[in-house]
Structures are given as C-alpha cells and as structure tokens.
Chain A
C-alpha cells in the first residue's frame, strides 16, 4: 500500500497514469469503436474536425477517418513501445549482469562492445536495419530493441557492480551457490526497481522512434500508426492542419505520460532518493 501512497504523492505521476490508462483503453476498445479498417475511405477528403458528426477529428487526404486511425494507431504504438523495450531488456540485462559480475577482461570486452553501439547514431542505425530487413512489424521491433539496449546494459552493470560486494552476495558464495544462481536469485531481484523505471522511460522513446520511422515511410505498410499519419499529412499542413495535428498530439501526450509515470515510479521504488529530507 505504501508503494501507491508514495506514487500518488507525485501529482504529475497521477496525471501521467491517467493519460496512459486512457490511451490503453482506446487501444483495447479500437475494434469495438471502429470495427472497420482504418485504411478504408469513408468520406470526402479534407473534412475539417466536427464538420460532420460522423468524423469528430475530420478526414485525411484520401477521405479516411482520422479518429479511427488514432485509436488503431494507439494499438500499434503501444505494442511496438512495449515489445521493443522487452527486446532491449532481454539483450541489456543479461549482458550488463555478466559484465558487472565477472569484471576484468569480460567486463572490458562487453563494455567496449556496448560502446560500439553507443557511438553509432541510433536513429541512423535503425533506418538502415529496417531498410535492409524490409519494413515489417518484426524488423521494426528488432531495430528499435537493438539500438536501445546499451543504456540498460550500463545501468545493470553499475547496479551489479555495487551489489556484488554486498555481504549477502558474499554469503551466497561461501555457502557454495553457483554463479548463475547467485546472479539470478541474489543480485538481479535487487536491481528490479531501477530497471522498471528505466523501462517505463524507454517505452516512451521507443514510441518516438517508431513514429519517426513511420514518418519517413519505414513503418509497416499494413499497420496504421501515429507516425505514418503525421507523415502523410505533412504536405497539407497549412490548409488541413488537423491531419498531422491530432496524431502528433497523441504522440506528445503518450510520451509525456510515460515520462511522468516513470518519474513517479522512481519516487515510489527508491524512497530514499525522493526529494526533500525526510
């Protein structure tokens, strides 16, 4: 209960959580709210918001319902954000744990490998990967995962490095536990809090990355996404601003919400780091 109390003390975090829940609700209800494909042309193109009750957010250059695109896009954005974050955690956590626990040469080698990825501009790498692998859901998730794991590895390595010298880890060595067991049952459970916080922030940046890729036309052509909608409307920004504006606003709010909630999680999970002397 204490956890929720500490989380709730951060008002921004509550706002973030509320926005997030709304986005998730829209994403889940998308097939019921708009059973038709968001790609279908349903009306005249360039209809302004609220011009017709049927299209509260208007229609785009080809007469597709923007509201329908928004809710279906929420599914894609959230799914890609979550899945690609899981992918990068799956790469980063074991790598960081091994580097931190083994130390010495192994640590040096793994960290140089990590730095290799950090020195390449992540967006450029993602573009190249998606272009080579064909723009499909799987390859987009993989590309985002691969460019975003280095911070995870560094964080986990640092945590493990400090936990490894704790007395309870030494005690586990003296009772004869095997190294993998020590890492999994003694060390990693104690690094979960910062990983969760980092993870929640990474979902936000993954959504941004996916939007940028779709904006450039490298999204999955079968999936409606917010980034694609912004990109599709950009040539008519002056006379039909709503085509780009609403999906852009959705990206902005969702990423903001994730950051606010992540901050709240940080306060709740690391009570000692919370601001102000208690």
Chain B
C-alpha cells in the first residue's frame, strides 16, 4: 500500500445526491454520499448491482444518463465544483484531468480505427502536441502499459488484440494526458483471472509511478483486497461504511459489510462426505469438437474447443469443469447435452449411448440431462409466465398441463419461491429469483444429471451464496450428479467434489477438490490458483 499523505484531496465528493426519475424503484440513485481521494491513493467503491456505485463514477465524469439529475452536494476536483461546469468546460476536464477505464474492453475501442489513431484522438481533442510528438508519446505509452512489440500493435486494429491487451490500450488512453484522477469502472470484471491479476498489478505500478489518484469501482472483494488503500461500501445508494482497507476487511463495523464479506466464498474447500463408488451416471470418452472458421483466402483456421476430453460423473457427485474463457469448458458442457454436436467421442448416460441417438430418440431422452444457464435475464422467455416456463418440459413429454402446473408449484416451493409465482412473468423477479426459476425448470423433468454452466457467475455475492446452498441441498435430496462449469475457483472450491482443469480444449489436471487446491500439479493450475484475487486475505 502506498503511504498516503495528508495533502489536499484530488477529488472530494460532498453530500452528493442523485435523483432518479419518478417511477424508479427508489427515489435517489445515490444519497448524501461524501468521499475524498488523496493524490496517489486508491479508493475502492464496493457494492452489489444497483447500489449506485457506477452512478458516482458517471457523475464525476459528467456522463450521467439524462433521466438522473444531481439534486444536491458537490463534486470538487482540486477545489473546483464539477457539477457547476458547462458542457464545454467539462469536455476539457475529461481526459485531461480525469481519465476513465470502462468494463468492457471488447466494445470500448472503435473497431474500425487503428490503435494509434485512437490514442492520437485524445491529444487532438485537447489540441496538444505536434504530430511527430504524438507518435513518440503513443509508443511510449504503449510501452509503459506493458504491451509487447508496441510499434506493431500501434498499427493494429482492436480485433487483433486480446481482451487483456485491449484493456491495456484503454489504460494507455486514460493516462495519455497524465490526469490527476483515474476512474476505473469494473475494469477487470470481463477478464480472466490471470489477465485480471496482471492488469491490477499494472494499475498499481502506474499509480505509484505517476502519483495518480484512482477511484476503483468493483463488486469483487477479492479485487478490493488486492488493490485498495481505502474502501467505501455502498448499499442502495447510501454509504454504509468507509475506512482503510485493513479496517474494513478485517474489522467491518456495519452489518451489511459483514454480510458481504461472509458471502465471499472461501478458497479452502470444506470437508465433504466421500462419494459411494457406483456405476457412473454420465461418462464421456474422447470427446472432440473443432470449430472451423472458413476464410475466403488461405487456409481455414481451426480451434480445438474439446480435444480428447474424458471424464465420469457418479450419482450425487459434483464435478467442476474449471478454466479461463476459450478453454472449451462451456463447449464440453453443451456437448454433453448435445446442444452442440460433438465431432467425435462417446457420451453415455447410464447405459444409454446419448451420442449415437437419432433426432427423435434424442428428444425423448433429453429429460435425463438438464441444464442451468448462466444469464438469469436471458434464460427465461420474457413472454411466458413462470408456470408455463416450468411446465413446458413435462408437457413436451406427455404430461397434461394441469398436472405439470401442480408439479411446478411444488418445485417453486422446493427452490424457495412461493407457489403463486406461477402466474407471474420473469421481469417481476430479481436475478437470484430468476435463477431459482431456471433451476426449477431443470428439475421439472427429474433428470439424473444437471449441467450448470456458470450458473452463479452473473449474480451478486450474497445471492450467489444462497443459490450455491440451494444447489447443494437439492443435490443431497435428489441424489443428482452435477457437472459444474465455472471460471471462478472460489465457487468451485465450495461446491465441487472433484475438479477438472481445462486449458485450450484439454483437461490438464483432475483430482479431488481438497487435494487439487492443496497441491496443484500442473503449471497452469498453479498459475490459476495464484491469480485468484485476494487469495492472501480470503483463505489460503
């Protein structure tokens, strides 16, 4: 942690209140929030989705949506109130005095412009530097953010760069004019853990070198533990706790902070009962899937998403399929249901060879293996009632709608919702509740195997903990076998009996969770475990 002087704060937010439009679910996006950041300090604003943390960042940048109006308070950047500036003055502040990094590196760069031209624009907008100087400065910036071969990358287009590289370019652009304040809005949420660790380290280094103050917005306590000097916790637009990183993380005062910290899954796998040896319910042998990109000129590009993947899954067991994006873990999960047709290999459900079935036979046997999807907002048809969504499965297999609806009510109670939810539409539910509906839909067909594809990744930590508990309970009660696909090692540690680590379409290591976390064998597994943010603080 940098030592923070008692100097004049770079940014001080005083009693900021932002009003939401009249019909929103609460009156104020942010209420009476006061914060300050000293030079060279990193302040993390932590909160769950809807807590108003991004609104603060956007208010500082003067980028609030039209419907949200500042109602009171002041945002002072080096003593000047930003809320009173007009658009022209604000444009001059943006970039020159405040730099911003956004969450999604894939969409925050213009796809039809070369990297160097996009960085030039920053100088051009503020009328700084001559043409030749701009080029030299751009190269220096790209070198500073640790991009390999900056001269070549400067001429590249965004699609030629990986996600981590693009985020580095964004950081270079944000720092181009040496702003006093850098706002980072969930800058690593869309990145893999190993990339995330590198970007966090880079941000920390740059901050120390230039003395930039950083306003870091995140929902992830692991990231907070890695980077924060001070922490502000936001709940429903109100600041509930503020303090140094040590104070807040080791000795939280407010109930909400305590709850949030308790919900962060530990990296230490809990003790779990041994699985009784039995015939596997699902066994996959030599599964292969190659994606071919047809190109007009030259040879086609091939990506091996699954390469000789084999595993088995026993009744009542949870197998975690862990890896970074592009490792092929989701492809394997979907191949097991034949949502994606595998190129080769055998998938057996008990004694049934699923991979050999024809179309209509497959449809009849689909009920034996079901899936829980990642995005609770995309996985439910917005135009159907919850009852209809859950009962569609049994109806497709010949149950009458009346019986299926009665069963749907029982299932809703099983997953912790009330039975009268059958008549309501998905948009009336929160993310966590929708995920419960998704689980009820999967259970309606009484499957032997559940495939959970990043089933808790889109949820807030506290909701995540509830859904994980629910999945465990249901598994114990019904003796389901679960294939749990995830990128989050903390979640995997909590729920899986065994873990298979995937890299570039291959399983590089398998083993019981406790043994694998205690003594990872493969270099990639070791790298993954080392990169988990906040590993030192949250259990090792």
Contacts and interface: CB of A to CB of B under 8 A. Distances in A.
B339 interface: yes
Contacts of A178: 363, 396
Interface string A215-229: 000000000000000
B477 to A, nearest CB: 21
A170 interface: yes
Interface string A146-171: 00000000000000000000111011
Interface string A114-136: 00000000000000000000000
B494 interface: no
A135 to B, nearest CB: 42
A177 B445 CA distance: 12
A168 B381 contact: yes
A102 to B, nearest CB: 13
B373 A171 contact: yes
Interface string A172-187: 1111111001000110
B445 A175 contact: yes
A176 B397 contact: yes
B480 to A, nearest CB: 15
Contact of B393 (A168, A175, A189): A175
A35 interface: no
A173 B341 CA distance: 13
B339 A170 contact: yes
B367 interface: yes
Interface of B: 65-67, 337, 339, 363-364, 366-367, 369-371, 373-375, 378-384, 389, 392-393, 396-397, 438, 441, 444-445
A190 B381 CA distance: 8
Given A174-B337, A175-B441, A176-B363, 8 more contacts: A167-B378, A175-B367, A175-B393, A175-B396, A177-B393, A185-B384, A189-B381, A190-B382
Contacts of A276: 66
A277 interface: yes
B378 to A, nearest CB: 5
Contacts of A167: 373-375, 378-379
B275 to A, nearest CB: 25
B534 to A, nearest CB: 30
Contacts of B373: 167, 170-171
Nearest to A188: B383
Contacts of A174: 337, 339, 366, 369-371
A277 B374 CA distance: 28
A176 B393 contact: yes
Given A166-B378, A167-B375, A167-B378, A175 B366 contact: yes
11 contacts: A167-B374, A170-B339, A170-B371, A170-B373, A173-B366, A174-B371, A175-B367, A175-B393, A175-B441, A177-B392, A190-B382
Contacts of B389: 168
A62 B90 CA distance: 71
Contacts of B393: 175-177
Contacts of A277: 65-66
B392 A172 contact: yes
Contacts of A190: 381-383
B379 A171 contact: yes
SS of B interface (majority)? loop
A239 interface: no
A53 interface: no
B90 to A, nearest CB: 16
B358 to A, nearest CB: 14
Contacts of A166: 378
**Top 3 A-B pairs ranked by shortest CB distance?**
A175-B393, A167-B379, A176-B366
Contact of A175 (B370, B374, B375, B384): B370
Nearest to B339: A170
Contacts of B397: 176
Given A167-B373, A276-B66, A278-B65, A175 B392 contact: yes
A173 B339 contact: yes
A277 B68 CA distance: 11
Contacts of B383: 189-190
Interface string A237-278: 000000000000000000000000000000000000000111
Contacts of B339: 170, 173-174
A186 B66 contact: no
Contacts of B363: 176, 178
A176 B367 contact: yes
A191 to B, nearest CB: 10
Contacts of A168: 378-381, 389
A276 B367 CA distance: 46
Contacts of B378: 166-168
A174 B364 CA distance: 10
Q: Which among A166, A167, A276, A277 has the greatest number of chain B C-beta atoms within 10 A?
A: A167
Contacts of B364: 176
A175 to B, nearest CB: 3
Contacts of B367: 175-176
A168 B427 CA distance: 14
A199 B380 CA distance: 27
Contacts of A278: 65-67
A123 B176 CA distance: 58
A171 to B, nearest CB: 6
B430 to A, nearest CB: 17
A219 B370 CA distance: 58
Residue of B337, B373, B445 most packed against chain A (CB within 10 A): B373
Contacts of A175: 366-367, 370, 392-393, 396, 441, 444-445
Contacts of A173: 339, 366
Contacts of B67: 278
A277 B382 CA distance: 23
